[in-house]
């Protein structure tokens, strides 16, 4: 099979030496190994002597010459998006407010419910001074974040095994155990160092969640030798 493929790229003399019976073709047609008018069919004796830019099959359509960067038309920039919210910060109390175009305002950063309400009222007063008609209504606390530290370390695999319906532990994704209390709508992130992060709808729910989780983490504590 190798000489037949080789004869395609050889001259007529080499093809005649390999396959003399193919020289007699019908109607005077060329032999299989005869030289072709197509570019890239000629064999120059050594494959390494061919030009590095020579391709046996030129493209069917002429390629477009490259254009300089200055000749290309500039690409139009997308229109700027209209802002739908504004951030506003207060120094005292230290809160950050997100003001939406619909009139909804979300305040974060307060350390207590009273401080959050005081900061929201002060923010409404600032908007009134700017000329907006503001009515302070529907204030409520929707999320409280608390952090507590246990005086001992926790064995997370054992804790997860004992509280499997409510606890989930995936160390490949997160180093903490996620424990959910549906009755309080609270979520706890329990770390092996004894640190627990609690998220709940209000302060009372967060305090109750810590009281409920303490007996379970105490059973899985690490003994200090």
Distances (CA, A) of 123 to 8, 83, 131, 207: 86, 20, 13, 29
**Is a pLDDT exceeding 50 seen at residue 13?**
no
Q: Which residues contact 203 (CB under 8 A, 6 or more apart)?
A: 112, 113, 141, 144, 146
User: According to the model, what pLDDT value does residue 178 have?
Assistant: 94
User: According to the model, what pLDDT value does residue 75 have?
Assistant: 77
Q: Is the dihedral of CA 17, 18, 23, 24 positive or negative?
A: positive
Which pLDDT tens digit goes with each residue over 169-216? 998 998 999 999 999 999 999 999 999 999 999 889 999 999 999 999
User: According to the model, what pLDDT value does residue 134 have?
Assistant: 84
For the chain, which residues make up each domain, given as ranges? 2-49, 85-129, 144-219
Taking a C-beta distance cutoff of 8 angstroms, is the pair 144, 200 a contact? yes
Which pLDDT tens digit goes with each residue over 42-88? 444 544 455 555 555 555 656 666 666 666 677 788 777 777 888 99
Which pLDDT tens digit goes with each residue over 154-170? 999 999 998 888 899 99
Which pLDDT tens digit goes with each residue over 88-111? 999 888 999 998 888 888 999 998
Work out the pLDDT band at 3, boundaries 50, 70, 90.
very low
User: Cα torsion for 15, 19, 20, 23, to the nearest 10°?
Assistant: -70
Same fold? 85-129, 144-219: yes
Distances (CA, A) of 52 to 47, 55, 170: 10, 8, 56
**Is a pLDDT exceeding 90 seen at residue 224?**
no
Please state the pTM of the whole predicted model: 0.56
User: According to the model, what pLDDT value does residue 72 have?
Assistant: 66
**Is a pLDDT exceeding 50 seen at residue 28?**
no
User: According to the model, what pLDDT value does residue 81 have?
Assistant: 73
CATH of the domain spanning 144-219, picked from 3.40.50.10800, 3.20.190.10, 1.10.490.20, 3.30.310.10: 3.30.310.10
Q: CB count, 10 Å around CB of 7?
A: 20
Tokens found for residue 189: 């992130």
Q: What is the mean pLDDT of the chain?
A: 76
User: According to the model, what pLDDT value does residue 136 have?
Assistant: 83
Q: Looking at residues 135-151, what average pLDDT do you find?
A: 89
Q: Which CATH superfamily is domain 85-129 in?
A: TATA-Binding Protein (3.30.310.10)
């Amino acid at each position: 099979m190798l000489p037949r493929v080789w004869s395609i790229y050889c001259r007529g003399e080499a093809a005649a030496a390999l396959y003399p019976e193919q020289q007699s073709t019908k109607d005077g047609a060329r032999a299989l190994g005869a030289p072709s008018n197509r570019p890239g069919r000629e064999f120059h004796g050594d494959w390494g002597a061919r030009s590095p830019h020579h391709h046996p099959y030129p493209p069917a359509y002429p390629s477009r010459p490259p254009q300089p960067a200055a000749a290309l038309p500039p690409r139009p920039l997308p229109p700027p998006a209209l802002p739908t919210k504004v951030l506003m910060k207060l120094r005292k109390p230290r809160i950050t407010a997100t003001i939406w175009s619909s009139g909804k305002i979300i305040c974060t950063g307060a350390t207590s419910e009273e401080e959050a309400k005081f900061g929201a009222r002060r923010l409404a007063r600032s908007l009134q001074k700017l000329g907006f008609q503001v009515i302070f209504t529907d204030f409520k606390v929707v999320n409280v974040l608390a952090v507590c530290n246990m005086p001992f370390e926790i064995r997370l695999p054992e804790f997860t095994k004992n509280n499997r319906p409510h606890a989930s532990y995936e160390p490949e994704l997160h180093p903490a155990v996620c424990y959910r209390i549906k009755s309080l709508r609270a979520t706890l992130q329990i770390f092996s160092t004894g640190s627990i992060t609690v998220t709940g709808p209000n302060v009372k729910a967060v305090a109750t969640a810590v009281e409920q989780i303490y007996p379970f983490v105490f059973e899985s504590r690490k003994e200090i030798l």
